[in-house]
A and B are shown apart, each in its own frame.
Chain A
Amino acid sequence: MITIENLHKRYHDTEVLNSINITIDDGDIYGLIGRSGAGKSTLLRCINGLETFQGGSIVIDGVDIATLHDKSLRELRKNIGMIFQGFSLIDRKTVYENIAIPLECWHIPKPEQKERIEKLLKIVGLESKRDQKARDLSGGQKQRVAIARAMVMNPKILLCDEATSALDPKTTDEILELLLELNKEYGITIIMVTHQMSVIHRMCTKMSILENGHCMVSGDVKEVFLEQPQALQNLVGILECNLPETGINIEVLITDEAVGQQFHSDLSLSLKKPYKLINSSLTHYREGVLSAFVINVSQEDYQDFLDYFDANHLNYKRIERE
């Protein structure tokens, strides 16, 4: 378990992280999302001691990492793998040699090195590329090598710093699939820093939104999207549709897939009142789908719609034009 309490970090006079409180349970896939410069990467790098901090604490499995130095800090890092946006491999070395570097640093005997690397090559699906040089690989393959290298010391935690940001959508999907598999198979805790909302949707159980070094929202991914806090709206932008000038606009959020599919026919059949569909979106999460509809109704009918939503326990809110 990772407990981050009241974390503060400054670069000279700038506050980069400001009273961050986050708890990450074993086996979670935790998403840290925010714009560039929000401090999410810095926060991630604090967890394995690549960055120092001035106030607060980070406790990993009962160990306060601020008390660690040199040897003990390296021991901690051994248990925390990390992957980067730029893959960071030695291009002129082979896949096998790249994965072997951590093992060599920790003086693991050669036969065991071979065993571990070959097992990982199978997991990441690069058995056939074993002796190819890293520079001859595609982006997705490079990231697979980086994942294998990060996993080779059998870490309990994997930190991903924009790990899929440099990849095309299909490759991103494949890498995320691999990470999900590692999480399921080995129960490894994954912390993902990203600016791609789709990564959060697809992977994460819990999330935090960072804004200018502050943690604005933390919680279950589904709940955060249902509650639509201001920080989330700031991040995804207010609805990308033009709201009509007349009438009243209502946004309805539905987490039950079946209810979402039936929503419009149920609404028309029960109320028999006219409404305009302004916007609709379906978001696929790790568990389930979130449907979001924006409808426009007339002033007179407004109350009838609200009564219908209340009676059916639907989550809604009135939205105003900017």
Chain B
Amino acid sequence: MVDYSWNVIIFQIIFPSMGVTLLMVLCATVLACLLGFCLAIALFWVGKHGLSPNEKCYATLNIVVSFIRSFPFIILAISILPITRFITGSVIGWESALFPLTVAATPFMGRIFENCFKEVSLDLIDAARSFGATNLQIVFKILIPATLPSIVNGGVLSVIQILSLTTIAGTLGAGGIGASALIYGYQSFNDKIMYTLVIVLFVLVLAIQLLGDYVYKRIK
């Protein structure tokens, strides 16, 4: 076991891998949020008590969402490698990891946002209909404003979920904190590096959660 100095650990291992992880989390969150949001609106729109109920559409979407969510992430990432290569031109590097991360996180976020929308009382939607709101207006002027705090909460949950997925992506060549912990820590029998990186992850999760709680309190 090589005993790296803290200087090396911090500036040559932690900082670069943290940069990669943060980039992955940020980009995957933005992508998965946008897509998950659209998915949630679609699910709610055609859902049983939705804006324009359609049993078949809902059943189809529902099955697709559950199907993707049933994959363990590592299996999902491996099984869609050809598509990843086709879309991103490569299978390694953090940019390539964005594709499987987005594919995995979108249904997760979609489901969470859908559940937020379901919390809205049906009377409130009826009230909006009763003054002549269109379905789109109901989404943007009623559903989203009414559920914004829950959406933020769900978003925080999703970001932390994505952070944990990036560590798995790291084992498949994406780099980042997960990969460093595995390669420099676990596989090199270097507990110092491994546990330091675990603490870094812990601090990241805590920071995300605190930031989310702060925003939640502000907008509630």
Contact = CB atoms under 8 A, between A and B. Distances in A.
Contacts of B137: 105
B42 interface: no
B124 A77 contact: no
Interface in B109-124: 121, 123-124
A89 B125 CA distance: 10
B69 to A, nearest CB: 30
A90 B131 contact: no
The winner among A84, A91, A152 for most chain B CB atoms within 10 A is A84
A86 B131 contact: no
Given A90-B145, A92-B148, A101-B128, A74 B121 contact: no
Contacts of B128: 101, 105
Contact of B124 (A48, A88, A105): A88
Interface residues of B, number: 21
Contacts of A152: 131
Contacts of B133: 74, 101-102, 105
B130 A48 contact: yes
Contact of A106 (B132, B145, B148, B220): B132
B142 interface: yes
B152 to A, nearest CB: 12
Contacts of B220: 92
A78 interface: yes
A78 B132 contact: yes
B55 to A, nearest CB: 14
Nearest to A91: B146
A93 interface: yes
Contacts of B126: 45, 50, 82, 84, 88
Interface of A: 45, 48, 50, 74-78, 80-82, 84-86, 88-93, 101-102, 104-106, 146, 149-150, 152-153, 159
A77 B132 CA distance: 5
B134 interface: yes
Interface in B200-220: 219-220
Q: Is the interface of B mostly helix, strand, loop or mixed?
A: helix
Contacts of B132: 74-78, 102, 105-106, 153
B127 A84 contact: yes
B144 to A, nearest CB: 10
A77 B130 CA distance: 6
Given A105-B132, A105-B137, A92 B219 contact: yes
Please provide the 6 A-B residue pairs with the shortest distance between their CB atoms, ordered closest to farther. A82-B130, A74-B132, A102-B131, A77-B132, A88-B123, A88-B127
Given A74-B134, A75-B132, A105-B141, A92 B146 contact: yes
Contact of A82 (B127, B142, B146, B149): B127
Nearest to B131: A102
29 contacts: A45-B126, A48-B130, A50-B129, A74-B132, A74-B133, A75-B132, A77-B129, A77-B130, A77-B131, A81-B130, A82-B126, A82-B127, A84-B123, A84-B126, A84-B127, A88-B121, A88-B126, A90-B146, A91-B146, A92-B149, A92-B219, A93-B145, A101-B128, A102-B133, A105-B128, A105-B133, A105-B134, A105-B141, A152-B131
Interface in B85-109: none
A263 B125 CA distance: 53
Contacts of A105: 128, 131-134, 137, 141
Contacts of A149: 127, 131
A78 to B, nearest CB: 4
Nearest to A80: B130
A75 B123 CA distance: 20
A303 to B, nearest CB: 58
A90 B149 contact: no
